[in-house]
Amino acid sequence: MKILEQNKLTEIQKKNLWDLWNNEYPVQLNYEKLEDFNKYIKSLENSFNILLLDDGKIIGWAFSFDREGERWFGIIVSENYQNKRYGSLMLKKLKEHESQLNGWVIDKTNYYYKKNDKPYKSPIDFYLKNEFKIINDSILETPKFSAIKITWSKLIF
């Protein structure tokens, strides 16, 4: 297992991340075209990336970026590598670089499906185990999906 930390992504990495995104997130969030995914990547202000590789293949991606005066993040781990603490490892690495992280998380299980027709399991419990708090009064409702805001802050003494 190898971890890469970098600000910019190569074109090959973007293609691999597009595949990972489309395979692991609900189909409602899939990008049909690579160029649309690249536009999303390009829109991420001040981005920082953590790539988890196994035998040279990207099997996990955690990233942070600026949006509307806050630091936001996303994380994806390939299905075959979930429940093995790799997501927690990437989050820990991300937290080393950040003092706060915000994200949207789908909080409904078995309501959304992945590209392989398997139900998308909400990762809300994963985030709670990793010191995130749910912001109950901040809900994102779109025609495609519903999500709730989560946040983590570094304790400063």
How many domains does the chain divide into? Answer: 1
Distance CA 119, CA 79 (A): 12
CA atoms within a 13 Å half-sphere pointing along the CA-CB vector of 34: 9
Residue 7's CATH number: 3.40.630.30
Give residue 31's identity as a one-letter amino acid code. Answer: Y
Strand 2-6 with 45-54, pairing: antiparallel
Write the Ramachandran bin of 68: left for phi over 0, alpha for psi from -120 to 50, otherwise beta.
Answer: left
**What pLDDT shows up at residue 110?**
63
Distance CA 17, CA 34 (A): 10
The per-residue pLDDT string of the chain (157 residues; one tens digit each, 9 = 90 and over) reads 999 999 999 999 999 999 999 999 999 999 999 999 999 999 999 999 999 999 999 999 999 999 999 999 999 999 999 999 999 999 999 999 999 999 999 987 767 999 999 999 999 999 999 999 999 999 988 888 889 999 999 876 5
Domain that holds residue 118: 2-153
**What pLDDT shows up at residue 156?**
65
